[in-house]
Structure 1
Amino acid sequence: METVILDDPAALGRVAADAVVALLERRPDAVLGLATGSSPLPVYEELVRRHEAGKVSFARARAFTLDEYVGLPEDHPERYRTVIEREFTSRVDLRADALHSPDGTAEDIPAACAAYEDAILAAGGVDLQILGIGSDGHIAFNEPGSSLASRTRIKTLTRQTRSDNARFFDDDVDAVPTHCLTQGLATIMAARHLVLLATGRGKAEAVHHLVEGPVSAMWPATILQHHPHVTVLLDPAAAGRLQLAPYYRETWASKPDWQGI
């Protein structure tokens, strides 16, 4: 696990965008994993900027989203597929049919989850997965106590997660759905490169467990310690509880330019 601490979210977005661009230069038909939430937004803004400048194309790429609320209608502005389209994919040249997301309106939820797993497998797996982390250590919607071997499935959201997400629903926690479909931890772990972004003091406890704590289902993100290629991008506030922060800064400062993340 590589931990990078930079001074502002825009710098984190540039580093993550560098990795996406380098991947698409090597493999124009690469498969991207896209996360919603506030943390990935600087990445998407930077990728849109580079696309508009003619520096990257998504025309042959494919993308899979991490999760989706259950029960929100297709025209709801906070449906995660709608958010990803609004914030990113509609602003670049990714084909509309190349964006895949779990079906939160499906009548047969288990079948929809199995179909999503099959679609990821048929695409050859995810090459680079963008992630955020919840204040309780969840990634995607794998809440504390989730099986470390879990696959795409329905989950009940914790009160903490619903409270955290209420800001997207006019601060009305009761408007936040209680259920979601989410890629499981084992699904996420199958991606070839994981890039997790976290900013703000509210993420410091979760980041501490993620980077320096024991692997535990109580802090689901800690499973990433077992992945061979993980990049954790942090601002100083999110890194505020890391004991080895000076070391992480030193290793990043002395890293060879050719190595990338």
Structure 2
Amino acid sequence: MMLLLLIAQTIAPITPSPPSAGTQPVDSIEARYERCVDLATGNPPEGVIEGTGWRANGGGFYARQCLGIAYANQAKWVPAAQEFEAAAQEAEVARSTRAAQFWAQAGNARLAAGDTAKARAALDAALAAGTLVGLQRGEALFDRARTMVVAGDLESARIDIDQALTLAEDDPLIWLASAALARRMDDLPRARKDIAEAFRRSSDDPSVYLEIGNIAAFAGDADGAKSAWNDAIRVAPSSEAAASARDALKQFSDAPPQP
């Protein structure tokens, strides 16, 4: 029997970067920034109001980043990306090293919006700056790898994901993506190894169970695939991963469990 293979998509979170000294007193910038980001995360519509007002009164790229966070937390990905891009451009003019962080956030938002071409351009700019290090660089490499997968450039995606794993090895989403990529590249041992790492870090994620089922299906293990897809439904019945698992289980005569 040909088994159905389904791939889970993941979106990395948008995170703020704290301000540094500029033309305003540091305390003033930090206090305004913290207030704006608190609203952007806790009450996003109010965050938009706060960020818009601050931007109009000289808030510069920090106000734009705050606006981007507020829009992202409402899943308004296009305006979020536009604000992050504007923040990056203003930061470049100001010769601020924060520009790379803003480009990375823009790329993440463009990915969430489904615009992989603009996401790739933003992430290329973020990584080319050379100022992203550690976890931030790892997450940007991961996002760029996702744009490469969409473009069908799996070899380049593998290079970026392998680098991302060395910098952000505690992120289960990168291990999950690495496992799915290995499966697509017909590397079953690597797929099994990496999904085990994802499971070790996030055993309650339905997307991990979904991919365990995909890998089992790829290996021709129908019972293993059914078991894992049923687990995805059990763990989070209302999730997108559970919906994908239900679709995969339709190829079998036995119905999936009801939530």
Q: Fold-level match, TM-score > 0.5?
A: no
TM-score, normalized by length of structure 1? 0.31
TM-score, normalized by length of structure 2? 0.32
Which structure ranks higher in relative contact order (CA pairs < 8 Å, sequence separation ≥ 6)? 1
**Larger of the two Rg values belongs to structure:** 2
Q: Higher helix proportion, which one?
A: 2
Q: Higher strand proportion, which one?
A: 1
